[in-house]
Amino acid sequence: MTHSLHREGNLEKLERDFCVFIYPARGFNNKGSGPKVSKLFEIFYGNDASNCSSTSLRENLYSKVTPEEMLEAIRKDADSARAYATFNSREKVKNLLIQMKKADLGVSIMVSGMIDKVREITAEAGLDPHTINLSLGVHGRTDLLPPPDIRQFTTMCGHAVVSPHLVRQAIRKVKTGRRSLWDASVELAKPCACGIFNPHRSAEQLRDLAPIYTVSRW
Amino acid sequence: MLIHEDVCVGCGRCQPYCPEGAIGYLGLKSVVDQVACVECGTCLRVHVCPVDALYEHPLVFEYPRALRKFFSDPAATHKATGISGRGTEESKTNDVTGRVGPDEVGIAIEVGRPTLGMNLHDVQKISRALAKAGITEIEECNPIHSMYANPETGDLKPELLDERVLSAIIEMSVPFEKAALVLRTAKEVAKELDSVFTLDIFSTLGPNLTIQQRILDLLEAEGLPWRPNAKINMGLGRAGE
């Protein structure tokens, strides 16, 4: 599952787009890890996550579940809970990493983001990262892909359940005044069960695209 | 996914949510194209139908259609891995598992990503090309491994080939010396596909998030530029906790 690795978009916006993952290792330290994941999830929430989810519920922040319900589900999920979140600033990620380091719970933490930004953040947080996963691009029938301005939304859900049709519909709704930038972004975030679709980045992108799109259907 | 014809009011609200564009109108009602549907469950999960007309296909958990569910619905847990999603933990827990050591690389070929989805024939084209090149180190914990009929030839079980899924990941860990062969084979077989794949490589880091120079040299030599955003393991994990 490298579902946050291939996020596309302009560099200026990607610099403010981070995903963080809490991941106990199956067969190594997952037994009884629920309370640790729960504590780390609280750190997510305390640092103003743009979106978040856990595998215990598979409902994201915009699915009408409360953070308390998310935490309770994680605590009950003793051996297999994992949690994901997305953030829209390097400072938030730096602060949460400092807190996670201090908590010293021995659970693997992953950060997806611009390499140079993550390098700065980890240096400031006093961390020495272990492994890097690099994206080597898309190959094959790339001519069949939706255009890059649509992919900058759809690739925010690496499982590809945010549909290009839904993105086009969101642009049309914004353009015709039927949705605000934020409400349209929340609608786009709903299908992403992992909670790594970043509605803050989406709202900025919709603001950029709406003026230049024509309205045809939906 | 299916839609109760007698319940559907034809509002079409479910249609744009389908990543595969499998929901359309037949007359005044919405219907799901059963060939194109990958059973990702998105249309049902977002609760967009005002009259609850959507319901899961009765064979959604029956082999081989269940493949669609396991490789398309992020909330479905695959029997082979015990984890939800389409791959394994790969780089995410490498600080604990040591699955890929300093002299190895992990490589993943994520077929159908981004966005397009694919027919499992495309996976077989890649698995055959890898086997022909002598690359047989397919990750045993990955669900793809259990789909092989013959690891020597890369043939998948024939009954699976017509299934359509959002994506599937061919994962492997190989010695650094073998990485060029894997990357070259992947690039070559890409020309034969009906869909797309994303390619990625993972390795351990030097101090201060320094990428191994030989990895960068390898990618440059193979004509594979790496994107400026990456997924990075913070090194906070410990075994036996």
Kindly report the CATH number assigned to the domain that includes residue B107: 3.30.70.260
Q: Which residues contact B63 (CB under 8 A, 6 or more apart)?
A: none
- The first and second tokens of residue B42, run together, are 């998105």
Q: Based on C-alpha coordinates, what's the Rg of chain A? A: 18
Query: Which of B38, B57, B76 marks a domain boundary?
Result: B76
**Predicted confidence band of residue A214 (pLDDT cuts 50, 70, 90):** confident
Q: In this complex, do A110 and B114 lie within 8 Å of one another by their Cβ atoms?
A: no
Query: Which of B76, B105, B124 marks a domain boundary?
Result: B76
Are B48 and B128 found together in one domain?
A: no
Check residues A63 and A182 and name the one with the higher pLDDT: A182
In which domain, by residue range, is B14 found? 1-76
Residue A127's pLDDT is 97
CATH placement of domain A11-125: 3.30.70.260
Q: Which residues contact B233 (CB under 8 A, 6 or more apart)?
A: A108, A109, A110, A129, A130, A131, A132, B91, B92, B93, B94, B95
Nearest chain A alpha carbon to B117: A160
Are B58 and B109 found together in one domain?
A: no
**Tally of structural domains, chain B:** 2
Nearest alpha-carbon partner for B107 in B228, B236, B218, B193: B218
**Predicted confidence band of residue A23 (pLDDT cuts 50, 70, 90):** very high
Are B161 and B195 found together in one domain?
A: yes
Check residues A28 and A78 and name the one with the higher pLDDT: A28
Which residues of chain B make contact with A107, given a CB cutoff of 8 A? 236-237, 241
> What residues of chain B score a pLDDT lower than 50?
81-84
- Please report whether residue B232 resides in a domain: no
- Please report whether residue B240 resides in a domain: no
Residue A218's pLDDT is 45
Q: How far apart are CA A131 and CA A153, in angstroms?
A: 27
Q: Which of A21, A29, A190 sits opposite B96 (nearest CB)?
A: A29
Which residues of chain B make contact with A141, given a CB cutoff of 8 A? 116, 193-196
Residue B78's pLDDT is 62
Type of residue found at A198 = N
Q: In this complex, do B233 and A131 lie within 8 Å of one another by their Cβ atoms?
A: yes
Residue A216's pLDDT is 63
Are B9 and B96 found together in one domain?
A: no
- Domain ranges in chain A are 11-125, 142-212
Q: How far apart are CA A95 and CA B213, in angstroms?
A: 30
Instruction: Dihedral sign for Cα B176, A112, A82, A58, please.
Output: negative
Task: State the burial class of residue B217 (Cβ atoms within 10 Å of its Cβ: 0-12, 13-18, 19+).
Answer: exposed
Are B153 and B203 found together in one domain?
A: yes
- Please report whether residue B229 resides in a domain: no
Are B50 and B18 found together in one domain?
A: yes
**∠ at Cα B212 (B208, B217), nearest 5°?**
140
Are B69 and B94 found together in one domain?
A: no
* Percentage, residues of chain A above pLDDT 90: 78
Q: Which of A115, A130, A166 sits opposite B95 (nearest CB)?
A: A130
Are B55 and B96 found together in one domain?
A: no
Determine the distance in angstroms separating the CA of B170 from the nearest CA of chain A, rounded to an integer. Answer: 11
pLDDT tens, position by position, A89-131? 999 999 999 999 999 999 999 999 999 999 999 999 999 999 9
pLDDT tens, position by position, B187-230? 999 999 999 999 999 999 999 999 999 999 999 999 999 999 99
- How many CB atoms are closer than 10 A to CB B130? 22
Q: Which residues contact A159 (CB under 8 A, 6 or more apart)?
A: A3, A192, A193, A194, B40, B74, B85, B86, B166, B167
Are B107 and B60 found together in one domain?
A: no
Q: In this complex, do B93 and A6 lie within 8 Å of one another by their Cβ atoms?
A: no
Are B99 and B214 found together in one domain?
A: yes
Q: Is beta strand B148-150 parallel, antiparallel or unpaired with respect to B210-211?
A: unpaired
- Please report whether residue B14 resides in a domain: yes
Kindly report the CATH number assigned to the domain that includes residue B45: 3.30.70.20
Are B117 and B58 found together in one domain?
A: no
- Please report whether residue B152 resides in a domain: yes
Q: In this complex, do B97 and A25 lie within 8 Å of one another by their Cβ atoms?
A: yes
Q: In this complex, do A158 and B114 lie within 8 Å of one another by their Cβ atoms?
A: yes
- Please report whether residue B168 resides in a domain: yes
What is the ipTM for the molecules in this complex? Answer: 0.95
pLDDT tens, position by position, A118-165? 999 999 999 999 999 999 999 999 999 999 999 999 999 989 999 999
**Predicted confidence band of residue A1 (pLDDT cuts 50, 70, 90):** very low
Are B102 and B70 found together in one domain?
A: no
Residue A2's pLDDT is 64
> If you average pLDDT over residues A70-84, what whole number do you get?
89
pTM: 0.94
Q: In this complex, do A130 and B233 lie within 8 Å of one another by their Cβ atoms?
A: yes
Backbone region of residue B140 per phi and psi (left: phi > 0; alpha: psi in -120 to 50; beta: other values): alpha
